């Protein structure tokens, strides 16, 4: 993983990063968990700033640290990074779920993929989490301007394709409508959509929120050949933030993911 990681580090020097609110001292996060072993991967937009800072905005240190930073690596800027630094970054990614994972976010996704028989928390890990953009920003995705989002997607380019090519992942699970929409843009594809009645979210004073599933099969991503067929599935509800996602809806999505995983050869 050293070569892809060093390429991600190099992109910190590209024009646009400083204006896109990327945390400049945070390392790239190619994966949460062991990408090289995982058979199932979930997909989000980009790493949360809480992977690097506490509630007050101070850098996580000591036993609370989740990933490497310029400070932890003893670097003054990312242009100084060498293969040994990339190895340390990869180790923090590979062992993420066995140190101080952000459980409030990941436990909910781990529940959804449980019927695939994969888990983030098994040793060795059988599932991992990826992001369309492997760089943490100082604010949430919704706090970025449209230009900043476009810049990050453009600068990340073929990153996801390269990482998936290096992996053993056979099933990619997209977490929410925004992730799906941006994945389709990056991949230049349109996934099949189906309305799922049992995923519908009731609303008292306005129309119910429909439940929608997405699915498709890809062999290339952003021009990168994967060397295999990859089943891509998703759901429109953002499990961590969608208002009113009941236990019953989560359970129904979990069962569907399990059934879809059964189609993977």
With CA atoms as reference, report the closest residue to 173 among 233, 226, 83. Answer: 233
Residue 242 pLDDT > 70: no
pLDDT, position 264: 87
> Which 3 state secondary structure label does DSSP give 117?
coil
Q: 212-221 and 192-195 as β-strands: parallel, antiparallel, unpaired?
A: antiparallel
Residue 243 pLDDT > 80: no
- For the stretch 94-117, pLDDT in tens is 999 999 999 989 999 999 999 999
Region for 227 from its dihedrals, namely left if φ exceeds 0, alpha if ψ lies in -120 to 50, beta otherwise: left
Overall residue count recorded for the chain in this entry: 265
Count the Cβ atoms, other than its own, within 10 Å of residue 71.
12
Quickly list DSSP for 189-226: ---EEEE-GGG-B--SSSPPBPPEEEEEEEEEETTEEE
- pLDDT above 70: percentage of residues in the chain: 98
pLDDT, position 79: 93
Residue 223 pLDDT > 80: yes
With CA atoms as reference, report the closest residue to 49 among 69, 34, 73, 33. Answer: 69
Within the chain, residue ranges assigned H as helices are 2-10, 70-73, 83-94, 103-112, 146-156, 159-166, 177-187, 247-261
Q: pTM value?
A: 0.95
Task: List the beta bridge partners of residue 174.
Answer: 43, 234
Residue 234 φ/ψ, nearest 5 degrees: -165, 175
pLDDT band at residue 201 using 50, 70 and 90 as cut-offs: very high
- For the stretch 105-162, pLDDT in tens is 999 999 999 999 999 998 777 999 999 999 999 998 989 999 999 999 988 889 999 9
With CA atoms as reference, report the closest residue to 191 among 206, 207, 208, 179. Answer: 179
pLDDT, position 157: 82
Cis preceding linkage at 124, omega within 30: yes
Q: Helix/strand/coil (H, E, C) string of 129-168? A: EEECCCCCECCCHHHCCHHHHHHHHHHHCCHHHHHHHHCC
Task: List the beta bridge partners of residue 234.
Answer: 174, 214
Q: Which residue has the higher pLDDT, 1 or 87?
A: 87
Q: Which residue has the higher pLDDT, 243 or 36?
A: 36
pLDDT band at residue 228 using 50, 70 and 90 as cut-offs: very high
Question: How high is the mean pLDDT of the chain?
Answer: 93
Look up the CATH number of the domain holding residue 87.
Answer: 3.40.470
Domain that holds residue 174: 2-261
Separation of first and last alpha carbons in the chain: 26
Q: Which of 14-23, 205-214, 227-236 has the lowest mean pLDDT?
A: 14-23
The domain tally of the chain equals: 1
pLDDT, position 265: 65
Q: Is residue 132 within 8 Å of 30, Cβ to Cβ?
A: no
Q: Is residue 207 within 8 Å of 173, Cβ to Cβ?
A: no
Q: Is residue 129 within 8 Å of 78, Cβ to Cβ?
A: no
């Amino acid at each position: 993983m050293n070569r892809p990681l060093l390429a991600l580090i190099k992109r910190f020097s590209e024009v646009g990063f400083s204006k896109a609110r990327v945390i400049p001292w945070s390392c790239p996060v190619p994966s949460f968990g062991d990408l090289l072993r995982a058979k199932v991967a979930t997909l989000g937009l980009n790493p949360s700033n809480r992977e690097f800072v506490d509630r007050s905005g101070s850098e996580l240190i000591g036993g609370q640290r989740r990933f490497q930073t310029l400070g932890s690596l003893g670097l003054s800027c990312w242009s100084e990074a060498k293969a040994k630094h990339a190895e340390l970054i990869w180790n923090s990614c590979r062992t993420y779920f066995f140190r101080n994972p952000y459980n409030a976010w990941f436990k909910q996704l781990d529940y959804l993929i449980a019927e695939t028989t994969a888990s983030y928390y098994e040793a060795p890990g059988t599932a991992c989490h990826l992001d369309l953009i492997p760089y943490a920003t100082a604010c949430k995705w919704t706090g970025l301007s449209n230009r900043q989002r476009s810049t990050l997607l453009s600068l990340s380019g073929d990153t996801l394709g390269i990482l998936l090519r290096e992996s053993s992942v056979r099933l990619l699970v997209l977490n929410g409508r925004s992730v799906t929409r941006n994945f389709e843009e990056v991949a230049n594809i349109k996934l099949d959509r189906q309305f799922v009645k049992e995923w519908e979210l009731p609303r008292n004073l306005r129309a119910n929120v429909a439940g929608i599933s997405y699915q498709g099969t890809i062999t290339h991503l952003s021009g990168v050949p994967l060397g295999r067929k990859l089943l891509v599935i998703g759901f429109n509800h953002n499990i961590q933030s969608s208002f009113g996602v009941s236990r019953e809806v989560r359970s129904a999505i979990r069962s569907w993911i399990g059934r879809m995983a059964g189609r993977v050869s």
